[in-house]
Structure 1
Amino acid sequence: MPSKRKTRSSASPAAAPPSKRASRSSASRVADSAPVKSEAEEVVAASSVVKEEAQASFTDVTDGNVSDGEGTNARFVGEPVPDEEARRRWPKRYQEKEKKQSAGPKSNRNDEDEEIQQARRHYTQAEVDGCMLYKLYDDAHVKAEEGEDNYICKIVEIFEAIDGALYFTAQWYYRAKDTVIKKLAYLIEPKRVFFSEVQDDNPLDCLVEKLNIARITLNVDLEAKKETIPPCDYYCDTQYLLPYSTFVNLPSENGESGSETSSTISSETNGIGKYEVNSQPKEAFLPEESKDPEMKLLDLYCGCGAMSTGLCLGGNLSGVNLVTRWAVDLNQHACECLKLNHPETEVRNESAENFLSLLKEWQELCSYFSLVEKKVSHEKYVNLFSEDDDDTSSNEEVNSEDDNELNEDDEIFEVSEILAVCYGDPNKKKEQGLYFKVHWKGYESALDSWEPIEGLSNCKEKIKEFVSRGFKSQILPLPGDVDVICGGPPCQGISGFNRFRNKESPLDDEKNKQLVVFMDIVQYLKPKFTLMENVVDLVKFAEGFLGRYALGRLLQMNYQARLGIMAAGAYGLPQFRLRVFLWGAAPSQKLPQFPLPTHDVIVRGVIPLEFEINTVAYNEGQKVQLQKKLLLEDAISDLPRVQNNERRDEIKYDKAAQTEFQRFIRLSKHEMLELQSRTKSSKSLLYDHRPLELNADDYQRVCRIPKKKGGCFRDLPGVRVGADNKVEWDPDVERVYLDSGKPLVPDYAMTFVNGTSSKPFARLWWDETVPTVVTRAEPHNQAILHPEQDRVLTIRENARLQGFPDFYKLCGPVKERYIQVGNAVAVPVARALGYTLGLAFEGSTSTSDDPLYKLPDKFPMIRDRVSSVSSEDDV
């Protein structure tokens, strides 16, 4: 299974702040000289170096005063905290020497057992430079090196060490530039800072000045938020946690003490390590009748609907009636597929930009017709519709014949009904704007046409009827209507296949603009939750610029956020497939957790080192019991044999399910949703079990590939493999040609990856996995041949590898169906995310505030739903 190193830190935002003599540059040099490290590892290295320098800065310590030799003085003020109270509030500062030594050799201790500065006594006040009085829990600037902004902290301890040195403990605020978003800090207001769990000890004379940091409530209503910000040096409304780049609501302040048990600090993780995960399943799954009202989802860039399907399945398991109400995609075949499988969904085949423009126009129309309480500007519609009475409510009884008639070339056309609305130009004349689909009175539906609203200015009543009807049925969402927005905005500009990638300014590349559009739609609709998915290059390309941008936009909108990298195989699939997922949650909601892996998996691919702590995985060395890794045989061994030229879209199963995975994947939709969990599975048909038909030449080549593990073009006559694992022509064997006259072994196979690759015309094998399901089924440069049949994997076999239930039907030409499956989010991953989404939506007490959640055993096959289905009924 994927795992990651256990990391922790007690460092500040960029590095531990130095004393007035120390310089952070030495810490930077250490970090620079080492290999590239994650954010967590960098702060650990910096902290240790600077602390050594800080210890060396003390030149005079007497009677509670300290001087650094440059005229700076610091001293405690007032009586010390009573010994008994100090030991209760800060117990680790007063450990007995013998107890500390009993922990064993340093090499055998856990990371959390690092040396803790021992205290002689604690204080509640201190004075620096003879003029500035600091109290416990004051906010303050802390000295940074020359030319850099001072650090910002909350003073959570003031104490004298056993060697007489004077210290304060800082709990750090991060400026936006010090967080994971780095150079995208321009998205955030300069006065906004983020409170962390990270704290460390610093010489008392590092304090520079007291600050007034206002703590306010996070609010997506930016105008309302501005009114709550009092005069201050900085304001803070969010807590920043390094694991999973998490931004959440501020915890409630506890001014009583800074103890291990009552402070905002996690003594176990210290802000960097893995949190203890919650392993308790939900107390009980809610019955179907309790799942009202429904939780409405908008699926952007929906493809064939895998992401929203998985989310809804998972939400259902956690007791939430999550329903895909709206879906948008530019691909017509994908839209047809989603509508076929989700007839309840309003599916729109249009660009996301046009969809956003349509939403804005729709809100204005609803405002003009007085359908919404919160009015928005709609002057253009007041001017557009000619009327004798400006009061739209008084026109409900007015319906003159002239109001719905159009005159074109002296022929009168009467509008019978408005059928649909869109933004753009359905007539392909490049005239952007609002269009209505019109059914003409006395004409067949075949003559229905799209008309610009400007041409329907005298059809106000018909438009009003349509808008009123659409408003009531929510054919389009208004701000506040959507509970969840999910989607994977395409970012072809970061693809490794794009030779012209813009590494300096990725957002200037039109191929990456959909990320901006996705965030614009979130900002406009203000959902309770949002979930964005993308390829790992999002956090690899251009130092993770686009991933940082996505996080920055959510912060700019005042959403909570959390970023994780998940492997599909870790949730029960025979492929690895790493993807990035970004949660967003409104301040009124609980930020969803990432579900921990349920299955062991064969690791394939590289996780970006800087974002290693974002990997959704157990810590390396942590003892866990996972279900066994799934292999190709587990997923597809029960499927009927088909030929290269198979053209049927529906065939019958010819054998019983052989594995637990196969029994589950065969469940009907009702069974999978637990609507009829006690009924036996019907003898349903198998859909889309047909391959891309190979041309005659490729088919002849495939038939010559041995049916064995590792079989590929290297096994064909005329090819030999050198000591360096490169292929070369065998001079002793005459080159073989096909019936068409083309060579059996094509030249491109010999030169692929400089002759080192064994992927051309390669067979998969039963005990293997695939790196990732792809969108193209050609065998020329990838292993995609069936282990024992002379063909590529079928659409259904690929769908099985992605976790699509067998009841899910695909639409369009064969190549389009492969594309839909290859582009999809793996359904088991989406289902696991949907489960934690449902728990967050309910504010479940069975979850904690930790970033990770342990799914119930045997998830998603809980409550023995699979055992209720007789395997013999599957045939």
Structure 2
Amino acid sequence: MSSRRRSKSLSLISPKPDPEASSSSKKKLKTELNADLTPISRSSPKPSAAKTRKVKAELSVEEDDAPARFLQPHFPDSDARVRWPLRYARKKKNVVEEKKSRDDSEEVIQALHHYSQAKVDNITYNLLDDAHVKAEGEEDDYICKIIEMFEAVDGQLYFTAQWYYRAKDTVVKDHAHLINDKRVFFSEVRDDNPLDCLVKKLNIARIPLTMDEKKNCLPSCDFYCDMLYLLPYSSFVKLPTSEKKVGSETSSTISSDVDTNEACEVNSQIGDVTQAQQCCKPDVALLDLYSGCGAMSTGLCLGGNLSGVNLVTKWAVDLNQYACESLRFNHPETQVRNEMAEDFLSLVKEWEVLCKYCSLVKSKEPQQKYIDLFADEDEEENEDEKTEEDEEVFEVEKILAICYGDPNETKKRGLFLKVRWKGYGSDEDTWEPIDGLSNCKEKLKDFVTSGYKSKILPLPGDVDVICGGPPCQGISGFNRFRNKENPLEDEKNKQLVVYMDLVEYLRPKYVLMENVVDIVKFANGFLGRYALGRLISMNYQVRMGMMAAGAYGLPQFRMRMFMWGAQPTEKLPQYPLPTHDVVVRGVIPTEFEMNVVAYEEGHKDVHLEKKLLLEDAISDLPAVENDERRDEMPYHEPPKTEFQHLIRSPREEMFDTSTMSKPATHPLYDHRPLELNTDDYQRVCQIPKRKGANFRDLSGVRVRPDKRVEWDPDVKRVYLESGKPLVPDYAMSFVNGSSSKPFARLWWDETVPTVVTRAEPHNQAITHPEQDRVMTIRENARLQGFPDYYKLFGPVKERYIQVGNAVAVPVARALGYSLGMAFQGLAGDTPVCSLPKRFPNILKRRSSKSSEEVA
């Protein structure tokens, strides 16, 4: 198998496959380009023709004694030439053209005859049988479907194998234990092998992906198969309901080729975005886990709306109280819960039990736990009547809320209810354990019934989409004690398990998980593979891709991993291809090169918009000082760029492009910087206001020929008023003196690498191009694509953290559009799709007159 790689950038894509080339050659080429994903066993991908030819010097065709032979009659020549035309391209010219179309050095083996039956070691094999295949030097057998049998012009006997993968030989690798040992995955990887490599017939049952293997309803078989494994984007998809004639050169299952033309055709079915909005908009309920301030769900909802689906964030969960305040303000329709995800999981499980106890949800078994709890309520009421007259009796007036955890900080975790006591005000509300409220059965039923109707908590089946980015701090490069052997043993990575447990319990139609690219880099991608394995074990279709924020209309690069999951009954969402011309930065592991959502080099038919620069995003914002304290202020100037027009649009226009809104009437929120201390402020004031300026431009610093810094022996060290040095030692030693980031100014014509959570200028470029301060909260929010109407809460440092931890809104919006298309059944079968032209700037523009008005 070839070790060549496809190089990717966000500006290029591979040429459209030559229609003269066969499907089999195209698929084989795809496989060769990803040699590191090995099918079936060990490091060798399959018993290749080249290898097995060395094992066998010559194949005998004697009818009686040959260990491998074909059984007569052969296919009629006329039928064979139609079905496998490339096997009969005898003319040299045709063979040369075929080699060119395949872009492959391996020549197509020419056939003399094709057969439908063969006999190997007294076992008869039919065309389309499944079989074990043995290669010399390999301990394990491979598994394939026989899709072609032919005698070559030189007398050699061959079969073409289309390979199955065991779980351990897919991208899941070490997490194969999550998946049934008898489960295999069909692929589009195929090649030619000597006939005598066949060793045993197999019975591989093809079953619907929806079949529940836990109910022992699998048919008797050696293995079973319910999914295709496609190498691009590490995709696992349900088997097609119908196939063309397997074994012919024009046969295909779901193509693994990236064909953006097909994607465009799918999108053209609904015309432009405005037409899509005119479609019926079904309500789609979303749960945002590890929601932060809500950037991911905001973007998904905006994109879903543009596709014609009314995606609504019904529930959100996060541990950061300030992030929850921000989300609650900007999404008043959302039930926002400020708690740990594992407590939320325990809560929804208890909530289902309560709903069953109150006969709101059907149950096969009585909910004995609560039956016993409230069984003696009458007796307790009688005992209460016998209490002394001077003893105060507290009566529950109303139950207000529910949680699982330790709200009273007593180190006793459990289910608690927030109680309003009769005769007392809200200041006296308390959290009480449910087992201490055994005399409040009717109050509890009233609360549960009301909560069930208003869906204060989701039940299994209520959630259409779960999105979220479980924190995996154990893979951070700043963590010196990372567990490389088993990252899941690190407590800092446990939230990935909790996230998957919530998916397994609530069973949404769609899952979208986001994380840093290190999830596929650290420990050979251990955690990324685990996430894939968990979803596959739950029978979700999955695919994984890496997307750069700048490729969707932002002046920052910021690469992140996004993993789609979809129930077998749903279309698996595609990845939206880039809209802007940005080249990928950073290192992607070789094994996951095919997971970068990007156009491939050599494609000439893509017209991308120019990459955005810092000036495009923030040049309209008013100047502020280092000590600015206002959380709200007027804009002063009209928008200057298309990006600024869009980012300043009112919420109503964002969600309804048919609305001709007036310019934004809300003030400019959060346009204030982290106030630098006196020393840092004095340092920033001395950084020249020009491109590339940083601490190296300060007095006393000299840059050596190797670009590292050193103290200038000819210049006396300068000190600040406080007595501290103008150039701190940490700036000189940062990255062994090779870094230019400390106290560096950004510049107008640059694309920022990544918006970070901390605003200190000590080790990163975060200083404004022309003002003596760091970038404001709003400027960072602009770089993340937050709409200007999005107001943040909490201390200044906390607001920076919310913005820095967020998913870039334009990326989430593009994914939301793909999700909406899939929800409506309009997604294509390829892993990627093209967004509508001018997305999302198709939004109706205000008139030139109104756009000049100052909000």
Q: TM range, normalised to the smaller chain? A: over 0.9
- CA–CA distance in 1 between the matches of 2:770 and 2:834? 38
Deviation (angstroms), 1:457: 0.7
Deviation (angstroms), 1:866: 5.9
Match of residue 373 from structure 1: 362
Cα distance change of structure 1 residues 869 and 174 upon mapping to structure 2, 3 Å threshold = farther
Match of residue 84 from structure 2: 90
Deviation (angstroms), 1:407: 11
Amino acid at match of 2:610: K
**Is 1:743 matched up with 2:730?**
no
- 5+ residue gaps, structure 2, are 1-8, 18-22
Match of residue 522 from structure 1: 503
Match of residue 871 from structure 1: 851
- CA–CA distance in 2 between the matches of 1:61 and 1:336? 75
Cα distance change of structure 1 residues 340 and 863 upon mapping to structure 2, 3 Å threshold = closer
C-alpha distance after superposition, 1:49-79 (max 9, x if no partner): 943232334434454769xxxx861111121
The 10-residue stretch of structure 1 (301-310 or 861-870) with the greater mean CA deviation from structure 2: 861-870
Contact 1:16 / 1:51 at 8 angstroms: preserved in 2? no
The 10-residue stretch of structure 1 (722-731 or 509-518) with the greater mean CA deviation from structure 2: 722-731
The secondary structure found in structure 2 opposite 1:763 is: coil
- CA–CA distance in 1 between the matches of 2:388 and 2:343? 29
Match of residue 151 from structure 1: 142
Q: Which residue of 93, 100, 113 maps to 1:121?
A: 113
Q: Which residue of 130, 140, 151 maps to 1:139?
A: 130
**Is 1:417 matched up with 2:402?**
no
- CA–CA distance in 1 between the matches of 2:774 and 2:290? 28
Match of residue 322 from structure 1: 311
Q: Which residue of 209, 223, 226 maps to 1:218?
A: 209
- CA–CA distance in 1 between the matches of 2:104 and 2:711? 59
Cα distance change of structure 1 residues 265 and 697 upon mapping to structure 2, 3 Å threshold = closer
The secondary structure found in structure 2 opposite 1:619 is: coil
- CA–CA distance in 1 between the matches of 2:239 and 2:566? 14
**Is 1:633 matched up with 2:615?**
yes
C-alpha distance after superposition, 1:430-459 (max 9, x if no partner): 111100000011101110000000110110
C-alpha distance after superposition, 1:628-660 (max 9, x if no partner): 011111111111100001111111111111111
Contact 2:296 / 2:468 at 8 angstroms: preserved in 1? yes
Amino acid at match of 1:453: I
Match of residue 786 from structure 1: 768
Alignment of 1:225-624 (within 5 A): 226-227=216-217, 229-254=218-243, 256-264=245-253, 266=255, 271=256, 278-280=263-265, 281=267, 282-284=269-271, 285=274, 291-375=280-364, 378-387=367-376, 410-623=391-604, 624=606
- CA–CA distance in 1 between the matches of 2:521 and 2:281? 42
- CA–CA distance in 1 between the matches of 2:732 and 2:621? 33
The secondary structure found in structure 1 opposite 2:524 is: helix
Contact 2:397 / 2:420 at 8 angstroms: preserved in 1? yes
- CA–CA distance in 2 between the matches of 1:319 and 1:404? 61
The 10-residue stretch of structure 1 (246-255 or 527-536) with the greater mean CA deviation from structure 2: 246-255
**Is 1:854 matched up with 2:834?**
yes
- CA–CA distance in 2 between the matches of 1:720 and 1:259? 69
Match of residue 54 from structure 1: 52
Alignment of 1:702-717 (within 5 A): 702-717=684-699
Amino acid at match of 1:283: I
- CA–CA distance in 2 between the matches of 1:314 and 1:190? 39
Amino acid at match of 1:766: W
Deviation (angstroms), 1:608: 1.9
Cα distance change of structure 1 residues 110 and 665 upon mapping to structure 2, 3 Å threshold = farther
Contact 1:220 / 1:586 at 8 angstroms: preserved in 2? no
Contact 2:14 / 2:601 at 8 angstroms: preserved in 1? yes
Name the TM-score, length of structure 2 as normaliser: 0.92
Contact 2:114 / 2:151 at 8 angstroms: preserved in 1? yes
Cα distance change of structure 1 residues 688 and 258 upon mapping to structure 2, 3 Å threshold = same
The one of the two structures with greater contact order (alpha-carbon pairs below 8 A, sep at least 6) is 2
Cα distance change of structure 1 residues 375 and 446 upon mapping to structure 2, 3 Å threshold = farther
C-alpha distance after superposition, 1:245-304 (max 9, x if no partner): 0001111354744223344274xxxx5777765123351456768545410000000000
- CA–CA distance in 1 between the matches of 2:780 and 2:82? 60
- CA–CA distance in 2 between the matches of 1:360 and 1:782? 44
Deviation (angstroms), 1:683: 3.4
Amino acid at match of 1:784: I
Amino acid at match of 1:2: L
**Is 1:181 matched up with 2:172?**
yes
- CA–CA distance in 2 between the matches of 1:833 and 1:404? 62
- CA–CA distance in 2 between the matches of 1:466 and 1:591? 38
Deviation (angstroms), 1:732: 1.3
Match of residue 208 from structure 1: 199
C-alpha distance after superposition, 1:613-637 (max 9, x if no partner): 1000011121221000111111111
- CA–CA distance in 1 between the matches of 2:386 and 2:72? 88
Cα distance change of structure 1 residues 237 and 200 upon mapping to structure 2, 3 Å threshold = same
C-alpha distance after superposition, 1:511-530 (max 9, x if no partner): 00000000000000000000
Deviation (angstroms), 1:566: 0.5
The secondary structure found in structure 1 opposite 2:97 is: coil
Match of residue 3 from structure 2: none
The secondary structure found in structure 2 opposite 1:81 is: coil
The secondary structure found in structure 2 opposite 1:426 is: coil
- CA–CA distance in 1 between the matches of 2:701 and 2:852? 47
Q: Percent same amino acid at aligned positions?
A: 65
Amino acid at match of 1:152: I
- CA–CA distance in 1 between the matches of 2:482 and 2:351? 37
Contact 1:310 / 1:834 at 8 angstroms: preserved in 2? yes
- CA–CA distance in 2 between the matches of 1:436 and 1:614? 46
Cα distance change of structure 1 residues 550 and 4 upon mapping to structure 2, 3 Å threshold = farther
Q: Which residue of 694, 702, 705 maps to 2:676?
A: 694
The secondary structure found in structure 2 opposite 1:39 is: coil
The 10-residue stretch of structure 1 (271-280 or 94-103) with the greater mean CA deviation from structure 2: 271-280
- 5+ residue gaps, structure 1, are 18-26, 391-398
Contact 1:487 / 1:533 at 8 angstroms: preserved in 2? yes
The 10-residue stretch of structure 1 (375-384 or 712-721) with the greater mean CA deviation from structure 2: 375-384
C-alpha distance after superposition, 1:520-571 (max 9, x if no partner): 0000000000000000000000000000000000011111000001111110
The secondary structure found in structure 2 opposite 1:464 is: helix
Contact 2:39 / 2:163 at 8 angstroms: preserved in 1? no
The secondary structure found in structure 1 opposite 2:236 is: strand
The secondary structure found in structure 2 opposite 1:410 is: coil
Q: Which residue of 91, 100, 122 maps to 2:94?
A: 100
Instruction: Give the root-mean-square deviation of aligned CA atoms.
Output: 3.2
Match of residue 393 from structure 1: none
- CA–CA distance in 2 between the matches of 1:701 and 1:860? 41
Name the TM-score, length of structure 1 as normaliser: 0.90
Cα distance change of structure 1 residues 504 and 724 upon mapping to structure 2, 3 Å threshold = same
